[in-house]
Amino acid sequence: MRIATHNVNSIRTRVSRVVDWMVRADIDVLAMQEIKCKPEQFPMQPFTDAGYHVVLHGLNQWNGVAFVSKIPAEDVEIGFADMPGFGPELAQEARAIGATFNDLRLWSLYIPNGRTLDDPHYQYKLNWLDRLAAASAEWLEHDPNQALALMGDFNIAPLDTDVWDIDDFIGSTHVSQAERDAFEAFEQIGLTDVVRPLIPDGYTYWDYQQLRFPKNEGMRIDFILGSEAFAERVTAAEIVRDERKGEGPSDHVPVVVDID
């Protein structure tokens, strides 16, 4: 089985690219983030015409997560226990959807950006990550042998080499110690980055501004974190850099793993 994660940065804008790539790459399950639409706005027909099933969670033109798959999703779950919200009423945003595909329990996740270190979104991001780690620990405690994977845009660069020049990020989000500690917490509960052992270097995101992609000034912020039962079945991985090329790409590229 080939599974992938991709922040598509508006599925209505990039539906043709996404469907074409999924068919060419023979993807069985794709976790998408930033679909940026409500369910009734999602461009369903191109996916169904290509033989895919879709489950999604979208509330407005921001955020939004989905799964597109060759086999139907089972046990679909929107959000996780005590998932933090934001704003005056602490409303939950469309940032998490879980589903089971055969015996794989997958989550498509769009972690809050944080914006700046003194922005309220930064503490929201840390709280969100803390609660996600707690929920993940509960899932693994309930079933230590489950093949679980957290997939998506984490908006964290865990290593200095995950950004083009760490000196340019001093005092910024994505590389702060608190964010990196929050990322490390997933490893402490038994989840590991299943891509890095196979692909030690490489970025998954390049900003549209300042010719970041041609200059390869990118960031590695999209991950697949798997339980031991998931990680031991990974046979190959790919960061699909070429999907940042061409007309109208997302600023993120797909990250793929092959599962035995």
Whole-number pLDDT of residue 51: 98
Bridge pairing between strands 222-226 and 104-110:
unpaired
DSSP string spanning 34-67?
---S-GGGS-HHHHHHTT-EEEEE--SSS--EEE
pLDDT at 89: 86
CB 32 within 8 A of CB 252: no
Q: Over 90: is that where the pLDDT of 87 sits?
A: no
Strand partners, 224: 151
The count of structural domains within the chain is 1
Q: What whole-number distance in Å separates Cα of residue 89 and Cα of residue 69?
A: 34
Q: Which two tokens stand for residue 26?
A: 């023979």
d(CA 115, CA 108): 21
Q: What pLDDT score does 32 carry?
A: 98
| Range(s) of the domain holding residue 16 | 2-259
Residue pointed to by tokens 């914006």: 115
Cβ(39)–Cβ(65) below 8 Å:
no
Distance CA 211, CA 185 (A): 34
* Domain at 229, CATH number: 3.60.10.10
Per-residue pLDDT at 243: 98
C-alpha–C-alpha distance, residues 98 and 116, integer Å: 29
Alpha helices, H only, the chain = 11-25, 44-49, 120-142, 177-188, 228-231
pLDDT attached to residue 45:
98
- Identify the DSSP state of 85: -
Indicate the burial class of 255 (C-beta count within 10 angstroms; 0-12, 13-18, 19 or more).
buried
Rounded-to-integer distance, Cα 16 and Cα 9, Å: 13
Cα 167 to Cα 62, 85, 208, 219, distances in angstroms:
31, 32, 20, 13
Average pLDDT on 46-72 reads 97
- What is the residue type of 35? I
Is the pLDDT at 88 greater than 90? The verdict is: no
